[in-house]
Each structure stands twice: as structure tokens, then as C-alpha cells.
Structure 1
Amino acid sequence: MKRFVFPLLVLVAPPGVAWSEVCPSSPDHTESISAVIAQIQDVGNEAEAQTFSNQLWEFWTDAPDAVAQAVLDRGMTRRSGWDLRGAIEEFDKLIEYCPHYAEGYNQRAFAYYLSQDFASALPDLDKAIELSPNHVAAISGRALTLLGLHRIDEARVALSHALELNPWLSERHLMAPGGPLEPPGKDI
């Protein structure tokens, strides 16, 4: 019987204790992320860069504990199945439980973005970047969200920053000639 009681205790915060008081600190992958970003900047093609991008996702989606990981995974599964409202509800729970975990905000922003609720996505992206300043996906997501809000100059700045970190992002085409974020030409 004790085997079945323990998991329930882990999933429920003790009475009178907020979820945020139970969640441990997020794993600190700052040095590893910086090292991977440096490697991405040195590769010669998009295929090589993809391997390093996958490593970044492993760091970003490494939740603070098993409870947070389960909620993150459920939210991502719901989002992948286009249950965007359900995904947002899961990410709400994750953020309530672990308010200092950047990926909760990034994933909720992505669900809002897919719902075309750009105004709700933007503050979550800002928070994710505040918590994880080199979160390339959140930075590029911010650029796409700003583009969705027709804030072209801000979107261009955000995407430029993301491309400084990872020049192989698929979003780079948005800044190419004829792209919606093509840098303005110079007057002669």
C-alpha cells in the first residue's frame, strides 16, 4: 500500500504550501548551453547544426523534478495533438508549480502562438528569455510573435539576435531578400 501512497504525495503539494514552494530550482545548464551555442556557430552546414540544436532542447526541457517533467511532457503531448487549450492548461499548472522554469513559459507561448493569440504569447516569451537569456527558441519565437503582431522592426531585431546565437535557424529565410523581415535598404 505504501508504494501507491508515495507517488500521490509527490504530485500534491502539502496543505498550506504553494506549488512554487515545493518546486526545486531549475537545473543550471547555462555553461553547457553556451558551449553548444558556440559549437553551432562553428559548424559548416544546417545538418550539423541540427545535432547541436537537439542538444539545446534536451537542456531546455530538463524540468526541475519528476512532477514538473510529467506536466511538461503532458502539455507538449497535448500541444502536439493540437489540443491547444489543454496544453495551455498543463503549462499553466507547470508555471504555477515552477515559476522560475523558463520552458514552462516558452511552451505556453508556443501554444498561444499556434492559437494565433500573439498578445498572450509575447509576455510568456519575455519571461522565458528573462529566465534563460540564451534560449534561442524563445528568442526566435518572440520574433515570430512580433511578426504576427505586425511589429516588424522589433521582430527583425529579435530574429537578428536569435541568428547571432544560431545562424542556422530555419527562420533565417524571413530576413532573406524578399522575406517579411528583410532589412530595409540603404538610400543612395
Structure 2
Amino acid sequence: MFRTDLKPIVAAAIGLVMYSMPLAADGDRMDELFDRLQRADDSRDAAQIEQEIQMEWRKSGSPAMDLLQKRGRDALERRDFDAAIEHFGALIDHAPDYAEGWHGRARAFFAKGHHGLAVADLERALALDPRQYEALFGLGVILEQLDRPGPAYDAFGLVLQLHPHHERAAAAIKRLDRGVNGVEL
């Protein structure tokens, strides 16, 4: 089983998210969407805003890169993880500053059980887009699987700071809370 000291990687990822958010220059549209997500009244409103954010994330600015991304996503859905890694790898080669390529390849690496490679790609995705809460959620999932409940809890908490209605992150926080924070007497 692959083991590595993830503490510096997690600290760097959390630092990137915490200290880069005000500096993130995603444009007015993304700022407006994240503001709306923070103010969403319920999970239904949040889900609609989340779809808009994901549509914005998927805009690479190039039809060729959009095609590589679609092929990678399609391969993930078919559970053809090797093909997904190839498509997302090609996307990264041609658009190394596009966070979704890194996030997509991280998902494929994770599905194949390559946690170290997945963490490295998630770290790069978060460096490029500190508000990419799905990449941060993926990092939390990997940390939890590697029996690192404290850093996983922190990652899920950061997801909820970005997306207060993220149901899977809220469930993970609830699941990990007792083990991380103990029981109050």
C-alpha cells in the first residue's frame, strides 16, 4: 500500500485555500456565483448555483480542450480510468493552467487507487483555483481513507466554508466529529 507523509501537502492545500481566496481572480461571474452560494437559503437554491459554478469551471476557453475534457468525463462515467487519465493528461499537457484538467485526472487516479498521484493533482488544481470545493472534498476523502481524520475533517470544513450546503462534506464532518473532537463530558 502506498504511504507518504501527507501532512505538508495537506497543510499547503489548506493554506492555499485559506490565504488565496481573496486573491483569486476568477472574474466577476465566479465571484457573484460564490456570493450567491454563500447566501443560498436552502439546498435546492444551492444545487442550482452549484450547477452554474460547475458550468463555469468547465469552460476551458478552447473547443479542443473542451473536447478532451468531455472525453475524460465520459471515460470516468464508463469507468475506463486509464482512458480518463490519458484524456485528462492530454488536457493538462495543452492547458496546464486549467484546474479542471488536474481535478479530472485526480478523480481517475483516485479511482485506480493511486492516492499519491491523486493528491498531487488535487494540490495543483487547488493552487490554480483555491475555490474548487470538489477538489478539496476529494482531498478530504483521500485523507479519510488514509486514516488521517484530523486533516480530512479540516478539508471537509473548508468545503463547507466555500459551499455551506455541500451535503457530502456536512455528512463527513458529522461522521468524523466525535473521533476528531472527542466527546464533551
Shift of 1:186: 5.9
Distance (Å, rounded) in 1 between the aligned partners of 2:133 and 2:30: 10
Q: 1:180 aligns with which of 150, 173, 176?
A: 176
Match in the other structure for 2:85: 88
Specify the code of the residue in structure 2 equivalent to 1:35.
Answer: E
TM-score (norm 2): 0.80
Any conservation in 1 of the 2:126–2:132 contact (CA below 8 Å)? yes
Deviations 1:13-35 (A, max 9, x none): xxxxxxxxxxxxxxx74432222
2:153–2:176 Cα contact (<8 Å) kept = no
1:38 aligns to what? Answer: 35
AA of the residue aligned to 1:175: I
**Is the alpha carbon distance of 1:114 and 1:174 closer, same or farther for their aligned partners in structure 2, counting shifts above 3 Å?**
same
Residue 141 of structure 1 corresponds to which residue in structure 2? 138
CA RMSD of aligned residues (A): 1.6
Shift of 1:134: 0.8
Name 2:59's counterpart in structure 1: 62
Relative to its length, the structure with more helix (as a share) is 2
SS of the residue aligned with 2:176?
A: coil
Report deviation, 1:124: 0.5
SS of equivalent to 2:28:
helix
Q: Looking at CA atoms only, which structure, 1 or 2, has the larger radius of gyration?
A: 1
- How does the TM-score come out when normalised to structure 1? 0.79
> Which structure has more RCO (C-alpha within 8 Å, separation ≥ 6)?
2
CA distance in 1, matches of 2:59, 2:113: 27
In the alignment, which residue of structure 2 is the partner of 1:164?
A: 161
Matched, 1:124 2:121: yes
The alignment-based identity, stated in percent, is 23
